[in-house]
Amino acid sequence: MDTLNEGVHFPRGADAAAVGWKALAVNLSDLAAMGAEPAWCTLSLSLPEADPAWIDAFLDGFTALAEEHGVALVGGDTTRGPLAVSIAAHGFVPPGAALRRDGARPGDEVWASGTLGDAAGALRLLQRGEAAPEPLAVRLHRPRPRVGLGTGLRGIASACIDVSDGLLADLGHVCAASGVAAVLEAAALPASDALRNAFMGDVDTLHGLQLSGGDDYELCFTAPVAARDRVERAGRDAGVVLARIGMVAEGAGISVRGARTPAGTGYQHFVTGPAAS
Amino acid sequence: MDTLNEGVHFPRGADAAAVGWKALAVNLSDLAAMGAEPAWCTLSLSLPEADPAWIDAFLDGFTALAEEHGVALVGGDTTRGPLAVSIAAHGFVPPGAALRRDGARPGDEVWASGTLGDAAGALRLLQRGEAAPEPLAVRLHRPRPRVGLGTGLRGIASACIDVSDGLLADLGHVCAASGVAAVLEAAALPASDALRNAFMGDVDTLHGLQLSGGDDYELCFTAPVAARDRVERAGRDAGVVLARIGMVAEGAGISVRGARTPAGTGYQHFVTGPAAS
């Protein structure tokens, strides 16, 4: 269950269709991170006033993603209030097969799906008053939950989470729940060509976006070295490129080799160890 | 799934424990109206800023009601935004046994549980700057969902709804869904002693509160005349007083014998027929 509030999770005047898409996407991403197959959802919409055009556009975006994943809208509520969208999404996973946060073990490898930093890169450009290239903007406005990958990683990944608050923050949850540390390689963090081009020559900003930028909705997971072939097959089956980005170690916290500690991340759960320069 | 927004569904500065109780109660009331047994819920809380004392009090109220009904809090979300509470509650009902809105048939009797107008009476007094007597205030702040009655009416009631927006508005949904009319008797509307005392001598206001006041979370249901004994037994088993308040008829709309048409109800779904004076 996730709530998106206007002015916090999306800007005032945001495209209603994008809000509808994203509100469902962030919930499906939570299911993906647990290896669950989405089934149905409920939707509660608070609106300052009746606005049929906004609702129509919102539902267009919502429905487009819901149909991709066969998610039924089974109930909900519309009410008056500051613009906000709450969705509770439900899915199924076989007993005992849910991916969890507490199974990472020292020696496991750390993986990330797709590319990291695109959504935060788009947001950074927009905040500077620059246009965001389409490949970045689409990551910010129409994120694709990694549902197929999540179900494919059942029985393979030792721990999994979706990257919503930023890689360090979210992998930090896994480390804390599992009682382990992680060592990442900055050079191994997957970056899109669009992100590299947009921040060319500014490797610290690039790494900062990849490590601390949120809203990518990729999966970050851990798996034993011996499972590497099965991990790669799960990625191919889901049509998602996977990158090995580091290792699980004993201890606590996350260190990143080859990157300066990103400044100003400000996440409550931000945990980092000594960074190599 | 229902959302409560500050300034709309509860006033600014409202007692946090009462908000926690009521946010769950309105959801359990929806389950009660379907004859469902509550099982679990998810909770999404938007807060302008971290406020541990508010959250503690909120959870006290929430948990008190959740424990009464064995409802597990299985997930959710806390995020920044205007103060709002969204809850999605889930329950079980045997296949085909859910109480619905579309089964009322001409000749059925219309029933209401408990007493009507108490919550609206409390609100009216508070809005006038007067103190609300405790029996009325508790109905407004700590409504009790009629879960036991709802499950007891499976297989007996032909249609059922909970009174959240007001009797006329909610029974209007039943009539519209069932393609029928209803004729109510004002004298049969169940009123608490506290409500009668508070509005003594002002029978039009009393009837207005009972017909159009919301937030009572009683059940209004229909059942065949032949089921009268079973209805009354279900009420006794649930420990809830039931009143026969009218009849289902052919046609559309609701008429109330013995009451003036309440003015200023303003509900979108407000449907009424010619009222006898």
Q: What ipTM was estimated for this complex?
A: 0.77
Residue A22 has pLDDT above 80, yes or no: yes
Contact at CB, B5 and A81, closer than 8 angstroms: yes
| One-letter amino acid of A106 | P
* Average pLDDT for B116-138: 95
pLDDT at B259: 85
Confidence band for B262, pLDDT divided at 50, 70 and 90? low
**Helices B16-33/B134-141 angle, 10° precision:** 70
**Given a cut of 90, is residue B212 above it in pLDDT?**
yes
Give the C-alpha separation, B74 to B61, whole Å: 17
pLDDT at position B263 is 43
pLDDT digits (tens, 9 = 90+) for B69-126: 999 999 998 999 999 999 999 999 999 999 999 999 999 999 999 999 999 999 999 9
Q: pLDDT band at B163, cuts 50/70/90?
A: very high
* pLDDT, position B266: 31
Please give the helix or strand (H or E) that residue B205 lies within, else none.
helix B203-212
For B224-256, the pLDDT digits (tens) are: 999 999 999 999 999 999 999 999 999 999 999
Average confidence (pLDDT) over A146-171: 97
Q: Is A7 on the interface with B (CB under 8 A)?
A: yes
Q: Is the pLDDT of residue A269 over 50?
A: no
Q: Give residue B84's identity as a one-letter amino acid code.
A: A
Instruction: Pick A81's closest partner by Cβ from B3, B43, B75.
Output: B3
Chain A, chain B: beta-carbon pairs less than 8 Å apart: 80
SS3 A175: helix
Percent of chain A at pLDDT above 70?
Answer: 94
d(CA B218, CA B145): 7
Predicted confidence (pLDDT) at residue A94 exceeds the cutoff of 50: yes
Interface with B, mutate which of A77, A80, A162, A215 (most B CBs under 10 A):
A77
- pLDDT (average), residues A85-107: 97
pLDDT level of residue A260 (50, 70, 90 thresholds) = confident
Each residue's pLDDT tens digit, A127-148: 999 999 999 999 999 999 999 9
The rounded distance, in Å, linking the Cα atoms of B90 and B92 is: 7
Measure Cα distances from A257 to A213, A246, A277 in Å.
18, 9, 7
For A36, the 3-state DSSP assignment is: coil
Q: Work out the number of other CB atoms within 10 angstroms of the CB of residue A72.
A: 11
Q: What is the pLDDT of residue B201?
A: 86
Q: Any CB–CB contact under 8 A between A94 and chain B? A: no
Mean pLDDT of chain B: 92
pTM of the predicted structure, to 2 decimals: 0.84
